[in-house]
Amino acid sequence: MSIGLDRNALAQQLDQLVDGLAEQHFGLVDNFFTGEEVDTLLNEFEAYQQQDEFKKAGIGQQDDFQVNKKIRGDHIRWIEESDTHLSFFAEKIRTLIDFLNQTCYLGLKDFEAHFAVYPEGTFYKRHLDQFHQDKNRQITILCYLNKEWTEADGGQLRLFFPEGENEKTLDILPKAGRLLIFRSDKLEHEVLLTHKERYSIAGWLLDKPKTLSFLA
Ligand SMILES: O=C(O)CCC(=O)C(=O)O
Ligand SMILES: [Fe+2]
């Protein structure tokens, strides 16, 4: 019974995400991850931090890769198939992939994702997520894990929308359980200066399986 109800709630959230993507270039739902799931993700986060598994995030790929704290200040830890505690996360993201493929004919094959922590006083300057040479990243997904986050804490995700000669912006708080999706090749965004340690999972839905990304 409760699984039936959960499925129904998930179906509604998936509809809401796709409607948003179609109508306003991004989809947002709250409570995509339950309080319990957020706690599990935060526990894993803490365990990886204790094991010193986080690395300073860089920009660019392979030969182009560089760490530049004037551009981004987060530390990341990639999620791997062997992270069995996180199989519920992978399962939900695969449900999202199947739904996007059925409703938007996207032909998504896989995803990659990493935990990210932005220490107090860090940010990520305006950028697009798709690389120039590699179009594998199609859809960006952001899962936020911060309980009791307010405007005063900063760290909003700012989205930029072109409007003729001008542009419009929208700021989104990184609240626990919230999921945001948008086109990785289209929507420029930045993480504003955070005044508190900020936790999230950033991921990308891919055009080709990860293992075939050398074909790009
Ligand atoms: O955490 C966020 O809100 C956005 C992170 C981001 O833009 C990225 O990792 O590419
Ligand atoms: Fe990004």
54, 157, 185, best to mutate for ligand 1 pocket (most atoms within 8 Å of CB): 157
The interaxial angle of helices 2-24 and 87-104, nearest 10 deg, is 50
C-alpha span between 29 and 122 (Å, rounded):
26
Q: What integer pLDDT is reported at residue 12 of this predicted model? A: 96
Average pLDDT, the chain: 92
> What atom of ligand 1 comes closest to residue 157's alpha carbon?
3
The domain defined by 2-215 folds into Jelly Rolls (2.60.120)
Query: Is pLDDT of 1 > 50?
Result: no
C-alpha span between 84 and 201 (Å, rounded):
16
Give me the amino acid identity at 101. N
Å from CA of 66 to ligand 2 middle: 16
Nearest to 140 by CA among 131, 149, 129: 129
Å from CA of 145 to ligand 1 middle: 13
CB 203 within 8 A of CB 104: no
Q: Is the pTM of this model over 0.90?
A: yes
Tokens of 57: 């995030």
- In this structure, the residue with its CA closest to atom 10 of ligand 1 is 129
Instruction: For residue range 66-120, list pLDDT tens digits in order.
Output: 778 889 999 999 999 889 889 999 999 999 999 999 999 999 999 999 999 999 9
C-alpha span between 41 and 14 (Å, rounded):
21
What ipTM was assigned to the predicted interfaces of this complex? Answer: 0.99
